[in-house]
Chain A
Amino acid sequence: MRVVLAEDLFLLRDGLVRMLEAFDFEIAAAVESGPELTKALAELEPDVAVVDVRLPPSHTDEGLQCALAARRARPGLPVLVLSQHVEQLYARELLADGTGGVGYLLKDRVFDAEQFIDAVRRVAAGGTAMDPQVIQQLLSRRSSDQPLGALTPREREVLELMAQGRSNAAIASQLVVTERAIAKHTSNIFGKLDLPVSDDDNRRVLAVLAYLDQGR
């Protein structure tokens, strides 16, 4: 799988390259600025891009803007955005086109190599990987709502993992239960929240996020 990586801090870039290579990714390019990233995304057609939000020369949200522009040119281009801070504002912009293949994680998440690589693979396959912090912010904001209040603690746990982009199998292994039990929980959640039932992981995440994001 070919990856374009954009990160301006040498140590982090180097570490990410080594980690990705260790998990059999091919690094198509590892760049350090916005213009280089735009060029690499246009010319190298990677399977997935891992992008830092803040890049030179402007040191603003240049990485995010480049990624969004590249996705407009090539809808569904898988992009995993990394940042020192997560903002719902940015998460919304990434999810806005509804085509999936997006990830948005805190840089801390690279500490856990396996989970991080799992997220990269999920995004590359057209799925979603949302940072737990984004989901928690959304949930805490709406926890007083009637439908969310009707969820059992276990269902809330499942909802949180589902919104991060995990498949039923992944949720089952994390919560140490059978996949059938998770399937039951998810159909309960969909029922209580009045969401359309769907087998496709990505549709499922988008539905949940749209639900959590509504009315604000």
Chain B
Amino acid sequence: MTRLKDAVIAGAQGLYLAIVSLVGSIVLFVFSVVSMAFLLLGVGFLTTPAILMGVRRYADAHRARAAEWSGVQIPVPYRPFPAGKRTGLTGQVERCSLMLKDPATWRDLQWLLVNMTAGFTLAIFPPALLLYMVYGWVLALGVWKPIHEAGGGEWFAWIHVTSQSTANQAAALGVGFFVLGVLVNTSLVRSHFLLARTFLAPTAAMRERQLAQRVDRLTETRHDAVDNSAAELRRIERDLHDGAQARLVAMGMDLGTIEALIETNPARAKQLLAKARHDSGEALTELRDLVRGIHPPVLAERGLGDAVKALALRLPIPTEVDVELPGRVEAPVESAAYFAVSESLTNAIKHAGADRIWVDVHHGDGMLRIAVTDNGKGGAALGAGSGLSGIERRLGTFDGVLAVSSPAGGPTMVTMEIPCALS
């Protein structure tokens, strides 16, 4: 029974794929070719990137279907666009040439041709095998007669239906097709996707190139991570040296003096005792601030969500925090994410002149997503030396990315995405 159900589902999937493959592939192929022809006139530079992005989106939809319906994983081969894309006309031309240089683009177009022919054929069989039986039965129930009498010799597959007996044969053959469909339908849909994979998955050369890029990226982020942690350690060392350590030295000296004075000058000794107690309080405050900078206690106690809420409560600007985390984020990511939020909030307060801030933290599709939005004057940019590029480097260690949208006049929205699992 499940087999029959699977076959019927595969039939419906095949029908959908057949229609989408035929119409989508033809339309996109024609548009692509025409648009590229217009490159010679210049207009093509405006239309080609958009149409090629459409092709990629169409291919991505097919990749998603493949994984969902047949468990066929098709990796994405496209080269990433370099950071700091330019906007305007030059940006368009740059984008266009980058896409045309990407071999994956040309393989996409080849796939469109294959998909509208072989892909369509493979997809149309599953529904056809099931539905043909119905037609056979319709003929056998008497419909063959008017067709025959009207002068038409109806063919059911290879049977020429001219009498009740041949019509019955047609019905029997229809049942045969149906049984065949039940047996092979899921495989047919799967083979449609396997065919797509030969064109849509990256080739060995493309994978190699991706790996090389990945190695470059990892080398870069590892350098950043090492530099960052070295700088952090230096800062902590300096803070301890100039702060708590110095205060403890002063306290020790005071206690020594108190020891000497306690009998000869009790009043002065009492004064110094009060000072020593004050110093110990100051040392504690400094240590507390230092700890907050290394790893905030609320983060250790409650996790990212409450740590961000506690942080928001300390800010001088009303800040709304919305958290949706069904579990605990891994400790290193949690810490990086916290400091990224903290830095974005500091930026918003110092530079944006905002009077309201919103922080949104949630997790979905294996990604931790954070957005920090303020209603300030905008104009923030990811440039050298800005706090934002510091965050970007920090998140890079975790393959996280950061995007800033900050038109002049505001609002500013900083979004971060870090791949991570929840526990």
Contact = CB atoms under 8 A, between A and B. Distances in A.
Contacts of A137: 313-314
Interface residues of B, number: 21
Interface in B257-272: none
Interface in A112-166: 137, 140-141
B277 A216 contact: no
Nearest to A216: B318
A216 B306 CA distance: 15
B298 interface: yes
B300 interface: yes
A111 B313 contact: no
B57 interface: no
B211 interface: no
Interface string B297-333: 1101110001001100111101000000000000000
Nearest to A54: B301
Interface string B123-141: 0000000000000000000
Given A85-B297, A87-B298, A108 B313 contact: no
B370 to A, nearest CB: 19
B230 interface: no
Given A137-B314, A216-B313, A111 B306 contact: no
Nearest to A111: B277
Nearest to B283: A108
Given A60-B301, A140-B316, A216-B313, A89 B288 contact: no
Select the residue from A60, A89, A137 with max chain B CB neighbours within 10 A. Answer: A89
A89 B306 contact: yes
B255 to A, nearest CB: 15
Contacts of A90: 310
Interface of B: 277, 280-281, 284-285, 288, 291-292, 297-298, 300-302, 306, 309-310, 313-316, 318
Interface of A: 53-54, 59-61, 83-85, 87-90, 108, 111, 137, 140-141, 215-216
Given A85-B298, A89-B298, A141-B316, 11 more contacts: A53-B301, A60-B301, A60-B302, A61-B301, A84-B288, A88-B310, A88-B313, A89-B309, A108-B281, A111-B277, A216-B318
